[in-house]
Amino acid sequence: MKKLLLTVACTMLSIAAIAQTQLPAPQKKAKTLSVMEALSTRHSERAFSDRALTPQELSNLLWAATGVNRPDGHITAPTAMNKQEIRLYVFTVDGVYEYLPQTHELREWAKGDHRAIVAGRQEFAKSAPVSLVMVGDYNKFGNSNDHARQMVAVDAGIMCQNINLYCAAAGLATVPRATMDVSAIVKLLGLNSNQQPILNNPVGFPAK
């Protein structure tokens, strides 16, 4: 019996290990445009080439969005009372993952291409190699009253702007979007009534 339990535990551990992927370290000194140049060039882009992001490019993008930037675990995007309540999900052609800022890892949530539910009624968004979905987790505030809703909306907007500015600085194309098939995303990610998809950013290289 003991041996059986040990085998089950080991199997579960290895499944967990397979489902979590370490990203390359973010290149914090990567050559990008300056903040002023990024602000000068930032714009919404709705056409993407079919070039995929490399793991390094994805790592840099996710770290810029909400990665840990201090030894105490604080992140690049400020959040109300440092609740860090915006979860960031990554939709690619291969699967759907949650970005785990504290370990800079991807946790797999679903296999396969689910970018269509992020695109919703805007077909163009399906052609971006990556779609980032920001999900507000009201559980971190203990309730979903008007104040919590306001803070979550603001914090998602801040993370979204981190993505917009990083993309502008790194030569990537993106557009902030509220359009998406919310109920399909809720179902796929197994979200509860205190977790709400707020915004998304399709990201890729410009078509032209």
Ligand X SMILES: Cc1cc2nc3c(=O)[nH]c(=O)nc-3n(C[C@H](O)[C@H](O)[C@H](O)COP(=O)(O)O)c2cc1C
By beta-carbon distance, which residue lies closest to ligand X?
179
Q: How many CB atoms sit inside 10 A of residue 105's CB?
A: 16
Q: How far is the CB of 12 from ligand X (least distance, A)?
A: 40
Report the alpha-carbon distance of residue 150 to residue 136 in Å, rounded.
11
Q: How far is the CB of 14 from ligand X (least distance, A)?
A: 40
- The smaller minimum CB distance to ligand X, of residues 95 and 206, is found at 206
- Are 206 and 47 a contacting pair, CB within 8 Å? yes
Q: How far is the CB of 165 from ligand X (least distance, A)?
A: 12
Q: How far is the CB of 175 from ligand X (least distance, A)?
A: 5
172 phi/psi in degrees, rounded to 5? -95, 155
- The smaller minimum CB distance to ligand X, of residues 140 and 177, is found at 177
- The smaller minimum CB distance to ligand X, of residues 43 and 51, is found at 43
Tell me which residues touch ligand X (CB under 6 A): 43-44, 46, 122, 175-179
Q: How far is the CB of 151 from ligand X (least distance, A)?
A: 16
- The smaller minimum CB distance to ligand X, of residues 23 and 159, is found at 159
Report the alpha-carbon distance of residue 44 to residue 177 in Å, rounded.
10
Q: How far is the CB of 119 from ligand X (least distance, A)?
A: 10
- The smaller minimum CB distance to ligand X, of residues 76 and 164, is found at 164
- Are 90 and 124 a contacting pair, CB within 8 Å? no
Q: Which residues contact 171 (CB under 8 A, 6 or more apart)?
A: 205, 206
Report the alpha-carbon distance of residue 181 to residue 123 in Å, rounded.
12
DSSP state of 206: B
- The smaller minimum CB distance to ligand X, of residues 122 and 144, is found at 122
Largest pairwise CA distance in the chain: 66
